[in-house]
Amino acid sequence: MMIFTNEEGTSGFFEEIVLFAVVSILFVATLTVAVYYGSLKEAEYEKVEFTNQVYNFVNKVRGYEPLLHNSVEGLYDYHKIKAVSSEELSKALTPNFNYYIAIIDASDYIIKYNASWSNVPGVTGDNVGDVTYGYYKVVVTYPVNIWVNDHEIHAAKLEVVGWK
């Protein structure tokens, strides 16, 4: 330890400790802010990647041949939507996240042709809002149609909820 003396007094280690503490606090604060904003950026990238996965899954559902009428994307055959099971849909489309799919008849017809599938047991349209979601939840809705016969086509919407 160096001790300097002059006419005004003696200086030593204790005068430098305040400066050291201030510099240390500033360094730790800067490092904390950098790590925090870096983790936010990483989380945002993960969210964007998951959103892309859900949109790709929705496109697969819109073009899933066993549900379509005459292979027309977005035109579902009401006979076929009742015949496809959740297990069959999961095997064919192989998503790596939890999902709930609903085709909701929005037409003015008296008889409604709704259908839903999920890879989580017990999740239905009534309780999908009560599900505890993990890190991310994405909801995608597209307009579609339900073919009943050549004279009756119902307006509907395809709603897919994906969560991880």
Domain that holds residue 52: 39-163
> Where do the H-state alpha helices sit in 75-124?
78-83, 86-93
Share of the chain above pLDDT 70, in %: 83
Domain count, the chain: 1
Identify whether 10 is part of a domain: no
CA distances 89 to 21, 74, 80, Å, are 61, 16, 12
Identify whether 119 is part of a domain: yes
Identify whether 17 is part of a domain: no
- C-alpha 65: how far from chain center: 25
Identify whether 125 is part of a domain: yes
Identify whether 141 is part of a domain: yes
Q: Which residue has the tokens 């977005």?
A: 74
Taking only the tens place, the pLDDT of each residue in 107-158 is: 999 999 999 888 887 666 555 555 666 678 888 999 999 999 989 999 999 9
